[in-house]
Structure 1
Amino acid sequence: MNKKIAVLSLLVTALSYSNDDFFYEEANKGVKLNESVISTTGFETSQRNVTNTVTVITAKDIEEKNYQSVSDALRDVPSVNIIGDPKDPIIDMRGQGSKATSNVQILIDGVSVNLLDTSHARTPINTVPVENIEKIEVIPGGGAILYGSGTRGGIVNIITKSGAGYTGGAISSEINTFGGKKAEVSYGATVDKFGINLNYTKNDYKGFRDGDESDSEFFEGSLKYKIDEKQNITLKYSRYEDDATSPRGLTKDKLSNPESNGLNTGDELIVNNTIKDEVTVKYEYNFTEKTQLDLVAFYQETDIYNENNYYKGVSVKNYMDYTDRKVGFKPKLKVSYGNDNNLILGYDYIKNNLTRDSQMDMFSSEQYANDLTKETHSVFILNRNPIGKFEFTQGIRYEYADYNTDRSYRKSGSSPTHTTIQRKTTMENMAYELVGNYLYSETGNVYVKAEKGFTSPTPSQLVDKLDGEYINNDLESETYVTYEFGFKDYVFSSFVSGAIYLTETKDEIATENLAKMDFINYNIGKTRRYGLELNAEQYFGKLTVREGYSLVKTEILKDQDKTIEGNEISNIPTNRVNVALDYLVNPKVNVILNTVYSSGYYLNNNNTDGKQNENIVSHLTLNYKPTESLRVYTGINNLFNEKYYNSISTDGKEYNPAAERSFYAGFKYNF
């Protein structure tokens, strides 16, 4: 409690800064209003015309706050809920809980990197090193028109420094008290019509707990060619490799030694190795001042090998070999017409294939083989019409999905079993959007929005397993409607934005694991999520203060399991608060204190077996720039040594403690 009082006292002191020292920088108003956002339309759009509560994490934010990964940067955004270990988390927004893997889209340069099936593997979001990120755009809710299935919670778009428009490079290095080491080198050059950008990062990660470590490498090279004044083309290739191990969860009797790996005799650390290759080609052509073409073609391959050999002291062999391949083609055309009206036409083609082979030795030896494909064709239209101080936006999207499911299961032992299933089917879905935006002053606007979207099933969800036999089910796409009211303005010298929203989902998809490794997939019925998001930013002379608040309420309205109707959805904190204080001591030194409060939440939809504890976590950073080219920094994570958990098992019996207080130091030199 004392540490919480200390934090609150510091915040009060900052917010009560003397009026004599108050200085509001008018330039910041223009910067915030004209800050460009790409993710809401696919083209550059100023915050002034964005009808979302967008949070933009810039390269400057990443550098000054010394974020180590994408998930590290997202943890400070109140509208984002990090579920699980920050190294390999689920990114949740607007109360999706563990279903966020299929209802929050993670994009890299506008291309989704979500895996086809996340029932056995999580989408690896930390493959791009923060040194190679230009900015991260976080958009809670919406996106169905531009991005299709799975945007009920929102989107996170990681925009890299690919291409190039500069000459120069950088080297950086960092160490921490857990023994981790990281080094990065980058270089960019522009010669005549050619621009090149190269980045290499080596990360020897060591976590708080014994056995929590990884050895990763990242390389990205991009080449940009300016064909003429109207058109250019960019080719980007990246490769990420990571060999990692992680410890087991701890039972209550082992929590007195939270750094331990939790292994019993005969157990082994969890092995999780990832290789990801990505090739992207982007072509841009400005036919005229009023007509722009943006075309992206891409190929992604993600290979994940997981080995999980333990069973309460009995040595077993459990592994999964997972390959996700995705190829796509996404042209968009923006046409301006009349008096500042514009129309965006787009087509998306994506073919996503997953092969997953696995073995599980527990009560018997079981082998699984999966070959799953989902091929989608989508067309969309987004139209914007300004009339005086009003702007009206209408959008529609049609998606056609072609599924091919091939699964087999073989069990050896005293009662051998072998079952296979092949299924081909198609689904069609529609999304709609209506938005009204009123720009009532030079700085302020209010908007109302209604969106109907969908999440179509994965191929693996179209099949159940009962009594050791695969059978087809009649699963449908889940559909949702979101109503939202939001605003942005400068109020009392503070930039403020916020939104209230209500989302109701019909036929939400659920998976229930049964005895003897059986499972069923079914449509829940109906759920409701509603909440509030607020963000503010003030400037007090040398002090910048940023605050954020997110309220999320959830309810299961109708379910196959009547006992959970009326309950909250698990893994969703009701309240999250963020306050960041950035103080410029002098032109060479600044100090940043960032504090996040998260309320407790239930571990399962039954709302039983305990809750995750509420927590307040603070991080302190000191930056020193002796020259324009050199930055030296140090910091303390979890400043007040808060005790909380990255995750707790749904039965409340196993805990994964979050990192205790730690220190880090590093430098970055630009040349």
Structure 2
Amino acid sequence: MNKKIAILSLLVSAMSYANEDFFYEEANKGVKLNESVVSTTGFETSQRNVTSTVTVITAKDIEEKNYQSVTEALKDVPSINVIGDPTNPIIDMRGQGSKATANVQILIDGVGTNLLDTSHAKTPINTVPVENIEKIEVIPGGGAILYGGGTRGGIINIITKSGAGFNGGSISSEINTFGGKKGDVSYGTNIGNLGINLSYSRDDYKGFRDGDESDSHYFEGTLKYKMTEKQDISLKYSRFDEDATSPRGLTKENLNDPTSDGLVSKYDQLIVNDTIKDEVNLNYENRLTDDMTFNLLGFYQQTDIKSTNNYGKMGYAVENYMNYKDKKIGFKPKLKLKYGESSNLILGYDYINNNLTRDSKMVMFSSEKYRNDLTKETQSIFVLNTNQVGKFEFTQGIRYEYADFNTKRSYKKSSISSGNTTSNTSITKDTTMENMAYELVGNYLYSDTGNIYIKGERGFTSPTPSQLVDKINGVYIDNDLESETYMTYETGFKDYLFGSFFSGAVYLTETKDEIASENFTGMNFKTYNIGKTRRYGMELNSEQYFGKLTVREGYAFVKTKILKDLDTEIEGKEIANVPTNRFNIALDYRFNTKLNVILDTVYSSGYYTNNNNTGGKQNENIVSNISLNYRPTESLRVFAGINNVFNEKYYNSVSSDGKEFDPAAERSIYSGFKYNF
């Protein structure tokens, strides 16, 4: 508790001394407001005109804080809660809890990466090495007009470095006290109007616990051709290949050795996950006139995941095997038209065809095989119009989505001793759904630096194909599942006050027909609409400059409530896996142009791990990291740091019944270098 009081005191002190006499020159004041954001409109937009509490994690932030993965960078954002194993987590915003895989969209260069089957697989968020990232844009709440369903919690857009137009290269390497090693090399050059960039990364990851290991390779190649002064086309290919193992959860009795792999039975084995992801993006932009810009994004993704989970139960061996193959192809043309003095209109069309096959097998007293072939094809049109009248800016948006679902599921149960089939069932289902999203925003630009906005958004989350079928008493049956719909009301502001940058928002989201699932004995399950939920909260961000010291603070508050459910016992309860309070404070002190040190501290309150609000509960925790950067020359950066400085004891995850724990990493030290040539 003393540490928490000290951190709070430091925050209060920084705020109380926010005096213009201590700050940088007036010329530096507009940096945050002029910061470019792409994700809110699909085109470059300054923070000044963004009606959201956007957090932008720049390449400089990533480099100087020495983040090792996208997950590490996101954990420092108060509006984000990372649930589960940091190498393969659920990323939550605004209180989605474990449903965040369906209600927070993770994008890479504007293309969604969420897998089609959210019930068995998490979004592979750490496939892009941080060295290849130009910036990460975090947009809490909404985004349905531009990005369609599944944006109730918000969007995270990972924007990579194109490399085209860059002459030169870099090489970097790093080690840590857990035994992990990583290295990166990149090179870019221009040949006339053609820009070429190649990069390769190797990460020999070792985690805090025994058996938490992976070996990954990443390659990216980009070509960018300047066709004319107004036309550009780029082609990017990337491949991520990882072999990983994970330890098992620990019981309370085994927590005295938190580094243990959790293999207590002679049948227990490490969990194995092998992932390969191939991605191709084609981007064409034509600035037709000064008032008209056309953009076309085409993409192809394929993600293969093989998972093995063998363990002991009741003195018997249990074997689990799953093989996923997720394919996604699509294209997104957009046209931006400027009219009047400061008004613009964006017209767009999205086509996405997403197919996933999942083969799985479980062997215990019998052999059970499952086959899923799932397809979801969506076609959408959207319009986003912005009018400016004096100091007032008004935005109206509408999106129509047509989705075509095809679901094929089969199940076969056989006797281990004889091999004879004892149960066999299958189903094929085709259905379509239509959904609409709307947005209205009013933004008052009351000064050169300040604005206040109010907005309302009606969005949706349509089901996955697998959710349209239940399995009851060993037989697949249709259900009448509907799309979730939500209404979000939000008001917020941005401004420079007393030389400091501030932004904040308060919001209320109510969801109707939220999708829930229930598993029964014997691998039976059903999916249904639970009725109604409510989420509300606020977000605050600020930044001050005291000569050589920069101070950044962030705070997120969220409350959730299940208003109506088929299970009346959870009505009135909080949604699981949602901390009420999270805040961070970062102190960046620059001794001179060559040396700086950053102290970053994040606090997260405890939370329930099931909707009954009983059993397991994640403990509150406060984690501090220190990073040191030294630049002896313009080309060389040497760095070192300490993660979890005060050796805080907490968990990556706690099982819903409170019986199994995954201890988070304790104190570790790292060091490395980066050389540009």
TM-score by length of 2: 0.98
Paired letter, 2:533:
T
User: 1:267, 1:314 within 8 Å by CA — same for their partners in 2?
Assistant: no
| Residue segments in structure 2 that go unaligned for 5+ positions in a row | none
Residues 542-587 of structure 1: per-residue CA shift (max 9 Å, x gap): 0000000000000000000001000000000000011000001122
- More divergent stretch after superposition (138-147 vs 413-422): 413-422
Matched, 1:314 2:320: no
- Distance in 1, Cα, partners of 2:20 & 2:553: 23
- More divergent stretch after superposition (565-574 vs 578-587): 578-587
> 1:288 corresponds to which residue?
289
Paired letter, 1:34:
N
Matched, 1:125 2:131: no
Matched, 1:640 2:646: yes
Q: 1:429 aligns with which of 425, 435, 441?
A: 435
- Distance in 2, Cα, partners of 1:182 & 1:448: 45
- More divergent stretch after superposition (19-28 vs 47-56): 19-28
Paired letter, 1:268:
Q
Q: How does 1:231-630 map to 2 (within 5 A)?
A: 231-264=231-264, 265-312=266-313, 314-413=316-415, 416-630=422-636
Paired letter, 2:145:
I
> 2:86 corresponds to which residue?
86
Paired residue secondary structure (1:271): strand
Residues 299-354 of structure 1: per-residue CA shift (max 9 Å, x gap): 00000000000033532321000000000010000001122210000000000000
Paired residue secondary structure (2:126): coil
- Distance in 2, Cα, partners of 1:165 & 1:17: 43
- Distance in 1, Cα, partners of 2:268 & 2:106: 34
Paired letter, 2:290:
E
User: 2:29, 2:499 within 8 Å by CA — same for their partners in 1?
Assistant: no
Displacement, 1:18? 9.5
- More divergent stretch after superposition (470-479 vs 313-322): 313-322
Matched, 1:109 2:109: yes
Root mean square deviation, CA, Å: 1.3
- Distance in 2, Cα, partners of 1:27 & 1:595: 29
Paired letter, 1:266:
Y
Displacement, 1:118? 1.6
Percent sequence identity over aligned pairs: 75
User: 2:582, 2:604 within 8 Å by CA — same for their partners in 1?
Assistant: yes
CA 1:434–1:371: 2 relative to 1, 3 Å: same
Q: How does 1:92-241 map to 2 (within 5 A)?
A: 92-241=92-241
CA 1:84–1:25: 2 relative to 1, 3 Å: farther
- Distance in 2, Cα, partners of 1:96 & 1:524: 14
Paired residue secondary structure (1:126): helix
Displacement, 1:190? 1.8
User: 1:21, 1:541 within 8 Å by CA — same for their partners in 2?
Assistant: no
- Distance in 2, Cα, partners of 1:398 & 1:49: 25
- Distance in 2, Cα, partners of 1:135 & 1:603: 32
Paired residue secondary structure (2:522): helix
Residues 466-524 of structure 1: per-residue CA shift (max 9 Å, x gap): 00100000000000000000100001111000000000000000011111110000001
User: 2:610, 2:616 within 8 Å by CA — same for their partners in 1?
Assistant: no
> 1:77 corresponds to which residue?
77
- Distance in 2, Cα, partners of 1:558 & 1:5: 39
- Distance in 2, Cα, partners of 1:127 & 1:610: 31
Matched, 1:39 2:62: no
Paired residue secondary structure (1:31): coil
User: 2:19, 2:499 within 8 Å by CA — same for their partners in 1?
Assistant: no
Displacement, 1:20? 10
- Distance in 1, Cα, partners of 2:249 & 2:184: 32
Displacement, 1:2? 3.9
- Distance in 1, Cα, partners of 2:123 & 2:20: 50
- Distance in 2, Cα, partners of 1:340 & 1:157: 26
Paired letter, 2:102:
S
Paired residue secondary structure (1:152): coil
Paired residue secondary structure (2:30): helix
Number of residue pairs the alignment of both structures matches? 671
